[in-house]
Amino acid sequence: MIIAELPVNEAARIDALHSLRILDTPREERFDRLTRLARRLFDVPMAVVTLVDVHRQWFKSCVGLGDATETSRDVSFCAHAILSEDLTIVPDARLDARFATNPQVTGEPFIRFYAGCPIKSESGFTLGTLCLVDTVPRSFDVDEQFLLKDLAAMVEQELAAVKLATIDDLTGVSNRRGFEALARHALANARRIGHAACVLNFDLNHFKQINDRFGHSEGDQALTDFAGLLMANLRESDVIGRLGGDEFAVFLTNTSLDDSVVVLQHLQQAVQAFNQSGQRQYQLDYCVGAVQYDPEQHPDLAALQRDADAAMYERKKARRAAT
């Protein structure tokens, strides 16, 4: 095993990292959703946002590594990756002199494949990486390299500024900006590997009445309840966003329109059960439009969203006509 050298600007780099005051902070959904998405998009068991501190690498977010929050810097793959401006790709760690006898290769978690993209501060210091880890050797093609760089750029955005936030503060799901950024990635991936995908557009019914009858904070509670039901009843890899007001959108990965019917039935049952539980004074009700991605009809995410929105409005119109 070869212990990584220190970057030439190490002291200033550490100052930049510490000035973020992010080390040892709790987990945050805005980072966790990126590692979850990375794991799903690249089909790897582990995806991590790591920050390389003086003697350790600390995980701002990790999926697939159990409760681990840090490792010593000496055994860290990312300590090597931050020395490069480009991606560090290790197809099989057993064949790489830097890592062959690394305890994480010879023992748990038996790392074989590693791909790490440097994450920079706004001032240009490499703070850590977004990295993918697998327990079997594999290759990493050019499309995958671009995708990883894009996701790492989103991690940088999250680090850079709260004003660039991509999470809806009220409900904890993505806001419009976050939804569109993540859904664009998921769509690119669906296109690349030829998987089906669907977009669902939801709009709550009579939401204004909840505000008017019970007050704005109960309205807020209703929005939070609905977001919670979406999160509880969809898969981790699906992208959920609040587009604004009482409008939500979901990008279903690897799902055909037929599959989405089952997903929506399941959700409807959960919402009914919630309404019947009597926890709230109000009932949640919504209209939803579902559209399957069709490469002929949908050159980009915006086209898919327009169709889902139109499908939702058709439902609204039919519903209003019926009442």
Ligand X SMILES: Nc1nc2c(ncn2[C@@H]2O[C@H](COP(=O)(O)OP(=O)(O)OP(=O)(O)O)[C@@H](O)[C@H]2O)c(=O)[nH]1
**Helix segments in 114-214, DSSP class H:** 142-160, 176-193, 207-214
Residue 223 beta carbon to ligand X: minimum distance, rounded to whole angstroms: 6
Nearest distance from residue 305's CB to ligand X, in Å?
A: 17
Nearest residue by C-beta to ligand X?
219
Tally the C-alpha atoms within 13 A of residue 298's C-alpha that lie toward its C-beta: 23
Nearer to ligand X, 138 or 315 (CB): 315
Detail the DSSP E strand segments found in the chain.
46-52, 56-63, 70-72, 88-90, 113-120, 126-134, 197-204, 239-244, 247-253, 286-292
Closest separation between CB of residue 292 and ligand X, Å? 24
Task: By CB under 6 A, name the binding residues for ligand X.
Answer: 170, 203-209, 211, 216, 219-220, 223, 245-246
CB of 171 to ligand X, least distance (A): 9
Nearer to ligand X, 126 or 171 (CB): 171
User: Is the CB of 8 or the CB of 321 nearer to ligand X?
Assistant: 321
Q: Name which of 97 and 321 has its Cβ closer to ligand X.
A: 321
Burial of 209 (0-12, 13-18, 19+ CB in 10 A): exposed
Q: Which is nearer to ligand X, 170 or 232 (CB)?
A: 170
Structural contact between residues 197 and 255, judged by C-beta atoms closer than 8 angstroms:
yes
Q: Coil, strand or helix: which one is 110? A: coil
SS3 content of the chain, % helix, strand, coil (to 5): 45, 20, 35
Nearest distance from C-beta of residue 60 to ligand X, angstroms = 28
Taking the C-alpha atoms of 104, 140, 192 and 197 in order, what is their torsion angle to the nearest 10 degrees?
A: 0
Q: Which is nearer to ligand X, 208 or 213 (CB)?
A: 208
Closest-CA residue to 274 (of 285, 287, 263, 265): 285
- Nearest approach, Cβ of 248 to ligand X (angstroms)? 12
The token pair that represents 104 in the structure block: 């994480």
